[in-house]
Structure 1
């Protein structure tokens, strides 16, 4: 794989179920995603975009075809390698998945603790800095129950970004955010790509942010049907 690519996919197929119930969800997908780019996956419900995201993001086993992520082949990869690789990734989901018993700061600190990055004081300082970047410097010690849906999502964004991941996988990250907050988050992801080479792959239906993408890939029935900037 060329070093300019963060992700390379070749002949990727994926199936759900078995026997007569077996159904193909991804059909012969081939694509390369450049390092530092912001790529958006679009398509109607059931088009395969989230399945593709989870396959290239080490969250689902690759059954057939090749997925190379950060120079590592995922098809047939051992679990120890996948665990190590996941530590270089950041994940943002529509369901924020915050721990309800932990404060905003503590939730973000978890993004560093899984890496064993720094001592508690450094982790707390980094978490406060990231929460400030997403506009939550006045909510550092709030529990999720006392945050709005949009604020919870911004905590989840901060948790995903605090460890400076090489690749960020985001599934509808702006769905719970107002326009200003949604645009500001995507601008931050775009800036990370420009300044640090962070690659972002995002599933979204949000037309407000499409103009910021380097590339838009549209899926239909598990196939890529449109690609604005193929590599």
Structure 2
């Protein structure tokens, strides 16, 4: 792939290595990973437990410091980036984790508003409307004012998805987003992420073990022992 496409790609990873631990306990976890992700695509990272897929995801998503090699995220090189720049970049991203991390004392709508980094108690009517709209998109239009304690595990995870999407992120990083969901909910969440790619150009990079959603992926990258062992474009 030429340099021009690398420059405009939402994520471009070059010669990425990563270690955990210090001294004698230092162990290499990622070996020479090279990936350029196309805008608006749904890319799935697969591999056995301990293969390095979540580490690669967190390095791409500016959640972990790049030690060796290059990661370009939305045109910014992450190796050596300042914390202020990292914060600015993270604001343009959406994150969905296996643990939904909802605030138990806030309603579904209020939890989604947290995705807008809204400070203070008075959210604008427009922001509340955006939060309610995205909850309706994930099928929770009748649960807008429910507390997490009154939602099922799958519903909580959909609130977390809505929180990640409410700010119209340029890239969504998702780590096992369907783990807590039943088959239909899991597929509908991934279909929604795919539709956002087509409608808004949102790029999704997802770690999953979920074979049910592989047919929706544009690309499947498989890691083993910290190395890419296959990289298949689906469509």
TM-score, length-scaled by structure 1:
0.96
Instruction: Name the residue aligned to 1:11.
Output: 15
- In structure 2, relative to structure 1, the CA distance for the partners of 1:115 and 1:87 (3 Å cut) is farther
- Residue aligned with 1:164, SS: coil
Aligned partner (choices 210, 213, 216) of residue 209 of structure 1: 213
In 2, Cα distance between the equivalents of 1:120 and 1:132?
A: 19
Say if 2:62 and 2:86, in contact at 8 Å, map to a contact too.
Answer: yes
Contact 2:97-2:176 within 8 A present in 1 as well? yes
| Corresponding residue for residue 54 of structure 1 | 58
CA RMSD for the aligned pairs?
Answer: 1.6
1:222 aligned partner: 226
Listed one character per residue, the Cα deviations across residues 131-182 of structure 1 (whole Å, up to 9, x for unaligned) are 0010111111111111110000000000000110000000000111111111
In 2, are the aligned partners of 1:14 and 1:64 still within 8 Å (CA)? yes
2:38 aligned partner? 34
Whether the 8 Å contact between 1:87 and 1:115 is mirrored in structure 2 is: no
Partner of 2:67: 63
Name the SS of the counterpart of 2:10 in structure 1.
Answer: strand
Cα displacement (A) at 1:81: 0.6
Q: Which ranges of 4 or more aligned residues in structure 1 deviate by more than 6 Å?
A: none
Match of 2:87 among 83, 88, 92: 83
Q: How many residues align?
A: 229
- Retained in 2: the 8 A contact 1:27–1:222? yes
The CA distance in 2 between the partners of 1:227 and 1:209, in whole Å, is 17
Contiguous gaps of at least 5 residues in structure 2: none
Contact 1:87–1:114 (8 Å) recurs in 2: no
Shift of 1:4: 4.2
Matched, 1:104 2:108: yes
**Residue 189 (structure 2) aligns with:** 185
C-alpha separation in 2, matches of 1:23 and 1:50: 16
Structure 2 matches for 1:104-183, cutoff 5 A? 104-114=108-118, 119-183=123-187
Q: Deviation at 1:119? A: 4.9
1:196 to 196, 200, 224: 200
Q: Deviation per CA, 1:63-118, whole angstroms, max 9, x where unpaired?
A: 000000000000000111110000000000000000111000000011113599x9
Contact 2:8–2:75 under 8 Å retained in 1:
no
